[in-house]
């Protein structure tokens, strides 16, 4: 399970916002501009903007996203990369208007930072903007006393959305790790910065800290099972590429017009513990302010594990196709290659990837 984004399978490929990995083709000056801008936005501008009325707060975020798009180093080559994914590799979830899509990609990332900032206090300023649909499915699952597993993807403002479930009375814990703790290039000061501006805000509304996948697969599964026996909720993102040690457990499933290799651990955990498995995704509406967190009825577990997981992958595929720029991995070439969506010998794989992700990973 990745990140907690996995919460699934551990992965250390994509750097967090503000990490020390150079964006593709950047000069030293461009890199300092990008890196300084992220630190400025997370550390000062976004916290102040989040105090404004929601309409102004998210307009500010969109303006920052537009600025990021305009100063995006090697923007033309990155747009060509998107067209390559769509036209040459057959990843048909990318729309024809790649310029507008890429601009929205950066707007969404900036809006997600505002979401994190609005988790302050009891998170009322964010709760008012998120419509939770299907909550009754989660309530019914917990009523049976076996806990519940939420399967999601590195998609939308999922970290903030799942924190709102804890605010609503659902004890939720995520399997995953914080990216910045696994990048040797980052100093202790920078890691502490991300702990303060990001992790602390998210974890304030969680039952307990993340279960770290690096502790060992058996230990992680046992810890997750213990929480389910306590009738708690475990969240796992199942769209992460498997690490080398887990390749033998990965299964090939239809995903984004190709066949991707993913870990079906979420299904294994559900079958072993008897906990219901539900799909959950957070979508941002067209006004950039409001969101919908959709929770599905339990996924039937009566088939073999690969067939069940194929249904989970289909749900993730549908969510990404509905709102492609909500998915985090588009510019993470190593991750796309790990999933099998980008051939390992593809020339574009060797370009440095932008450090835009702002969250956990696993």
pLDDT at site 25 = 44
Contact 16, 179 (CB under 8 A): yes
d(CA 261, CA 291): 30
Whether the per-residue pLDDT at 9 is higher than 70: the answer is no
pLDDT at site 30 = 66
pLDDT at site 350 = 54
CA–CA distance from 156 to each of 88, 277, 292 (Å)? Answer: 26, 20, 10
- How many residues comprise the chain? 362
d(CA 188, CA 120): 25
Note the pTM of the prediction, 2 decimals: 0.87
Per residue in 229-279, pLDDT (tens digit) is 999 999 999 999 988 778 888 999 999 999 999 999 999 999 999 999 999
Q: How confident is the model at residue 345 (pLDDT cuts 50, 70, 90)?
A: low
Give the percent of the chain with pLDDT over 90: 64
pLDDT at site 60 = 98
| pLDDT averaged over every residue in the chain | 86
Whether the per-residue pLDDT at 318 is higher than 70: the answer is yes
Q: Which residue has the higher pLDDT, 346 or 260?
A: 260
Whether the per-residue pLDDT at 99 is higher than 80: the answer is yes
Treating both helix axes as pointing N-terminal to C-terminal, what angle do 265-273 and 305-322 enclose, rounded to 10 degrees?
130
Q: Which residues contact 249 (CB under 8 A, 6 or more apart)?
A: 242, 263, 264, 265
Contact 30, 64 (CB under 8 A): no
5-19, 27-41, 284-298, 323-337: the lowest-pLDDT one: 5-19
Per residue in 162-199, pLDDT (tens digit) is 999 999 999 999 988 788 887 777 888 989 999 999 99
Whether the per-residue pLDDT at 212 is higher than 90: the answer is no
Task: Tell me the chain's radius of gyration from C-alpha atoms.
Answer: 19
Helices marked H in the chain: 28-40, 46-49, 54-70, 75-83, 98-117, 124-127, 135-143, 158-167, 188-194, 200-203, 217-229, 265-273, 305-322, 333-339
Contact 289, 58 (CB under 8 A): yes
Q: Which residue has the higher pLDDT, 112 or 27?
A: 112
CATH of 28-342, one of 3.40.1130, 1.10.3120, 3.40.50, 2.30.30: 3.40.1130
Per residue in 286-312, pLDDT (tens digit) is 999 999 999 999 999 998 999 999 999
Average pLDDT over residues 136-142: 97
Q: How confident is the model at residue 77 (pLDDT cuts 50, 70, 90)?
A: confident
Q: Which residue has the higher pLDDT, 156 or 356?
A: 156
Per residue in 34-58, pLDDT (tens digit) is 778 888 999 999 999 999 999 999 9
């Amino acid at each position: 399970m990745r990140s907690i984004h996995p919460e699934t399978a551990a992965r250390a490929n994509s750097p967090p916002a503000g990490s020390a990995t150079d964006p593709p083709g950047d000069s030293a000056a461009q890199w300092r501009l990008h890196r300084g801008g992220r630190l400025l936005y997370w550390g000062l501008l976004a916290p102040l903007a989040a105090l404004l009325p929601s309409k102004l707060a998210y307009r500010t975020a969109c303006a920052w996203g537009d600025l990021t798009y305009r100063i995006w180093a090697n923007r033309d080559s990155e747009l060509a990369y998107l067209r390559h994914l769509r036209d040459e590799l057959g990843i048909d979830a990318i729309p024809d208007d790649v310029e507008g899509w890429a601009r929205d990609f950066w707007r969404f990332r900036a809006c997600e930072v505002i979401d994190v900032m609005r988790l302050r206090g009891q998170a009322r300023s964010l709760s008012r903007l998120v419509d939770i649909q299907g909550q009754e499915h989660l309530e019914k699952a917990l009523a049976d006393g076996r806990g519940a597993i939420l399967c999601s993807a590195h998609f939308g403002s999922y970290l903030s959305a799942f924190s709102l479930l804890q605010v609503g009375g659902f004890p939720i814990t995520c399997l995953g790790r914080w990216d910045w703790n696994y990048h040797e290039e980052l100093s202790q000061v920078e890691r502490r910065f991300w702990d303060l501006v990001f992790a602390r805000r998210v974890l304030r509304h969680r039952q307990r800290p993340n279960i770290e996948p690096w502790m060992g697969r058996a230990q992680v599964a046992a810890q997750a099972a213990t929480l389910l026996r306590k009738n708690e909720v475990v969240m796992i993102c199942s769209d992460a590429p498997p690490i080398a040690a887990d390749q033998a457990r990965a299964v090939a499933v239809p995903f984004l017009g190709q066949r991707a290799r993913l870990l079906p651990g979420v299904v294994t955990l559900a079958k072993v513990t008897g906990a219901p498995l539900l799909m959950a995704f957070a979508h941002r509406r067209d006004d950039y302010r409001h969101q919908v967190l959709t929770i599905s009825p339990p996924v039937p577990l009566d088939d073999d594990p690969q067939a069940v997981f194929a249904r989970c992958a289909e749900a993730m595929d549908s969510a990404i196709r509905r709102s492609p720029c909500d998915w985090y991995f588009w510019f993470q070439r190593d991750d796309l290659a790990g999933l099998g969506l980008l051939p390992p010998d593809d020339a574009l794989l060797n370009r440095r990837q932008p450090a835009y992700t702002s969250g956990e990973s696993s």
